[in-house]
Structure 1
Amino acid sequence: MKLKGWSALASVLLLTTVMSACGSSNDDNGGANDAAANGNAGAANNGGAASNGGTTNEAATNGAAANDGAANAPADGGAKNDKEFTIRVGAWFLDERPYMVQFKKSVEEAYAKLYPKAKIQWDVVLGATYFDKLRAQFASGSAPDVVFYQNVDFATAGNLADLSAEPWVARLNDGGQKDFQTHAGGKTYGVPMGLSIGGGVWYNKKMFADLGITAPKTTQELFDAAEKVKASGKTPITVGFKDQWTAQLFYMNWLNSYELGDTTLNRQIYDGKVKLNESPVIQKVYQNFELLKTKGYFNKNAISIDWPQSGQMFASGDAAMIVQGPWMPGANADNIAKGGFDKFDIGFFPLPNDEGQVAMGTGSNEALGVNAKTALMQESKDLVNLITSPEIISPFMTGDGALTSFTDVTVKYDDPAMDEVQAAVNDSTVMATTLPNYLPQSAVTNMLDTLTKVVSGIKFNADDLKAAQSSFDKDKGTVTAPAE
């Protein structure tokens, strides 16, 4: 994985913008798998984790961090072990799903070895209400000692303790080290509890094999593959742009790769040096969509159906490709089962640029931090440290369908499509920020309105983006650009 030091990772990059597009429900993440399969796109994107249809996992156990040894011991060598206290852990997603129940049990058992007289109190409020409550608790000084959270603002507001010196920090992999939610100002404020991708192209392997198509590695190869599929009588790419977040996911993922030719573009737009309607890079991606439309590579009802309907079209074998997030394997398996369709294996490839370069965004969904004002600072750090041990966090990542954020934690998937996702991330440049992180939502909406027009058959005109630029100029004050 080649990391570009453009800035901090943008709050799960595209995932965060998708969450925004879906209303930022901050629903419980495990619901992402079921929600995506059942068509609840907002929950699916908010969860951000890959639904992989029943994964198994193998955790690497090398090194002291994998054991209950020194890495997980209290800093004072155990002098506090006789202390009797209750430590509170706040979360919005810890429900009664088996892997969540096992996670809590494993944490309690491991913590009891360090502090036999301690009690863990799980303060769980499912859904978006949790975040409103957590902000109020931080303001009043009553927040839990250890908190699961989303959004780096909790760190930059001074709510979270600096955990940069904790032993697990050195174990973070490249994606974990650059995760936007858990890092700010050169410091580490939280544990990325697994990584997720912004999205990419999922394809019907049987259909590709029957037509002699290999996974495209350039934009032209994608067009060539689409032409072969069209000639066979099938729809090359199904989209459900009635759900605008799917349009954003598609466009921004493709734009990521094209921005590799101009890695300062987002900042230039924010600084007013480049206008949205004047950027050749931004225009190029719109032109790609226009070509896909004029060539007949999209389903004819692309802008009138939603994500669940596009997913059904893919599952039925009527379409060869669909651009979606990492929940697609599980969602597709569920759609096939419910629809009685013939089973088929799916593959994955990221959206490339003309030269075959690929940029992918990865970031955490759940982050785990420590209340900066807790009276149990060391005890809280010890609890977080235990949670990062492979034997505890790896099953959690498996249940979440997440990619690993640690060098010594391996997640092995039953669905080989997820291995292709991991390989794609390893071979890609991980973008540090995406365009929507520099734009007010009004400008993003204007850009997506233009995209919808293009996919409906209206010829792309760069002047159509003047509305987005106007919204940017008007509402720029509502956006704080990611730190460089």
Structure 2
Amino acid sequence: MLAAALAVALTSCGSGSEPAADDGTTTLSFLVDNSPASLDTAKALTDAFMQANPNITIETETRPGGSEGDNIVKTRLSTGDMSDVFWYNSGSLLQALNPAQTLVDLTGDPVLANVQEDFLNVVSQGGKAYGVPAGSAMGGGILYNRKVYERLGLQTPKTWAEFMANNDKIKAAGITPVIATFRETWTSQLFVLGDFYNVQAAAPTFAQDYTANKAKFATTPAARGGFEHLAEVHAKGHLNEGFGSATVDQGMKLLVEGKGAHYPMLSAQLPPMVSETPQAATDIGFFGIPGNDPAKHGATIWEPGALYIPKNTENLETAKKFLAFVATPAAADAITKAVQPAGPYRIKDATLPDDAIQAAKDLQTYIDDGATAPALEFLSPVKGPSLEQITVAVGSGLTPPAEGAAQYDQDVEKQARQLGLAGW
């Protein structure tokens, strides 16, 4: 499991009680998942930190992603065998780690001084904050071809009615208005999950009420809206031919080539394309899924994961020093050199590079305007396993949207009970 031992230095000592080698160095262990983007980000952070701190060595361990990786994290925390620092999800998955018992409370600590205030909500439980953001946020909404918009004289829509009017004009021009790639079923969820900014704008307590079994998708008009959007674009004939068997790669190709105008998708799909299709960086923009009120237009964002410190660490001060560095513009700059950001950083004064993808710049505007909400999964642990199958059926015209919303309400009940949530 030991992936790398990266040499590094220390400009100020940690607490005198921390173990140190005979040569005065301190070693930190750092656990990350084994995805290429995570490994590249971790290497950029540790290299930059160690270059500035010559007496600290960071040894990076890897773990699998997905449920297997979740179980490894939970097991190591429960047995007191966790690394000094680890990278894990922010949001509702953090709650499953029982942070009050397993993680170091950073509330009020200078470590968090540079963390944007609204990010702290997704690394907090019971009013206590536990982590610092690693990497950039990403948008969940509509990726659109700016060249198509320019050619047809279209404006980015701020209401659903404007979006559908744009789709009519795009279809009349012989271009696919909305790309769907239901062969990869997870992609069918974006109209629902990416609509949460509008849900929260209309029903501000929905996340809490949903978690407490006091609100439902089927009986909350704003929450049901995502299912209705899915059904409407299909009913209007706005989808690409063969959408049921299309893949993400095919969908992105249609978008970048201008054969499709809109793709409900995460902005993270763009950076990997830039090396082979550089126009993806500039030709593809982003806007949030439009709601009904142009004055309340905004976007749903997926927050980055975070770095946490387990209570069992013997290197607390050094671990805090590393987290404090991660939460700086210098750390963001180090990441940018290794990994193209899919959205803004959640660190004060951390800026996107001039050559950042346009979609990331568009998302930055939403954040600067205070017009964002985290996806529901960052606010509630309730997410049923069958949503992507339900949204495929709704988006294919096989299930009416109200019925799909009701099916999803039933889908989440088993998971909510397994989590032992009150009210279920």
Please classify the TM superposition score into its range, dividing by the shorter chain length: 0.7 to 0.9
Query: Does residue 199 of the first structure (1) align with residue 137 of the second (2)?
Result: no
CA contact (8 A) 2:199 2:222 kept: yes
Kept after mapping to 2: 8 A contact 1:90/1:122: yes
Q: Closer, same or farther in 2 for the Cα pair 1:406/1:365, shift >3 Å?
A: closer
1:338-349 to structure 2, matched below 5 A, reads 345-349=283-287
Query: CA contact under 8 A between 1:361 and 1:430: conserved in structure 2?
Result: yes
Residue 123 of structure 1 pairs with residue 61 of structure 2: yes
Aligned pairs for 1:142-291 (under 5 A) are 142-150=81-89, 151-152=93-94, 153-154=96-97, 156=99, 158-178=101-121, 180=122, 182-291=123-232
Of 305, 319, 323, 1:384 maps to: 323
Among residues 424, 435, 439, which one is paired with 2:366 in the alignment?
A: 424
Q: Provide closer, same or farther for how the CA distance between residues 301 and 481 of structure 1 changes in structure 2, counting only shifts above 3 A.
A: farther
Is this contact kept in 1: 2:114–2:328, CA < 8 A? no
Alpha-carbon offset, residue 352 of structure 1? 1.7
Aligned to 2:46: 104
Give the aligned residue type for 2:111: W
1:333-386: per-residue Cα shift (whole Å, max 9, x none)? 45647xxx9997122111120112234344543311222122222222223223
Do the aligned residues in 2 keep the contact of 1:94 with 1:100 (CA within 8 Å)?
A: no
Inter-partner Cα distance in structure 1 for 2:323 and 2:378:
32
Read off the aligned partner of 2:153 and give its amino acid letter: G
1:403 to 344, 358, 361: 344
Q: Secondary structure at the match of 1:171?
A: coil
The two structures have a TM-score, normalised by structure 1, of: 0.72
Moved over 6 A (4+): 75-82, 94-99, 341-344
Quickly say closer, same or farther: Cα 1:235–1:368, change in 2 above 3 A.
same
The letter of the residue matching 1:247 is S
Partners of 1:348 and 1:421 within 8 A in 2: yes
Residues 368-410 of structure 1: per-residue CA shift (max 9 Å, x gap): 1222122222222223223334323432255341521111222
| Unmatched segments (≥5 aa) in structure 2 | 4-8
Provide the residue aligned with 1:51 in structure 2. Answer: none
Cα distance in 1 for partners of 2:255, 2:400 equals: 27
Amino acid at match of 1:124: T
Deviations 1:198-241 (A, max 9, x none): 41211111111111101111111111111110000110111112
In structure 2, distance between residues paired with 1:287 and 1:156: 37
Cα–Cα, structure 1 residues 439 and 111, in superposed 2: closer, same or farther, change >3 Å?
closer
Output the aligned Cα RMSD. 3.6
Report the CA distance shift for 1:102/1:448 in structure 2 as closer, same or farther (over 3 A). Answer: closer
Structure 1 residues 107 and 208: CA distance shift in structure 2, 3 A? same
Once the two structures are superposed, residues 287-330 of structure 1 have per-residue CA deviations (whole angstroms, 9 ceiling, x without a partner) of 33332222221113222322222122223321111111122333
Of 349, 355, 367, the residue aligned with 2:306 is: 367
User: For the Cα contact (< 8 Å) 1:249–1:324, is it kept in 2?
Assistant: yes
Matched, 1:319 2:257: no
Deviation, 1:462, is 2.5
Matched, 1:354 2:292: yes
Greater Cα offset, 235-244 or 267-276 = 267-276
Whether the aligned pair in 2 keeps the contact of 1:166 and 1:385 (CA below 8 Å) is: no
Tell me the amino acid that sits aligned with residue 291 of structure 2: N
1: CA distance, partners of 2:60 / 2:380: 36
Q: Is the 8 A contact 1:315 1:332 kept in 2?
A: no
Question: In 1, are the aligned partners of 2:329 and 2:348 still within 8 Å (CA)?
Answer: no
Q: Indicate the SS of the match to 1:405.
A: coil
Structure 1 CA distance, aligned partners of 2:188 and 2:414? 24
Instruction: Specify which structure has the bigger relative contact order, considering alpha-carbon pairs within 8 angstroms and separated by 6 or more residues.
Output: 1
Partners of 1:463 and 1:80 in 2: how far apart?
60
- Give the distance between the partners of 2:57 and 2:332, measured in 1 at CA: 20
CA contact (8 A) 2:390 2:408 kept: no
Distance 1:386 1:436 in 2: 24
Using the alignment, how far apart are the partners of 1:439 and 1:146 within structure 2? 24
Aligned AA for 2:174?
Answer: G
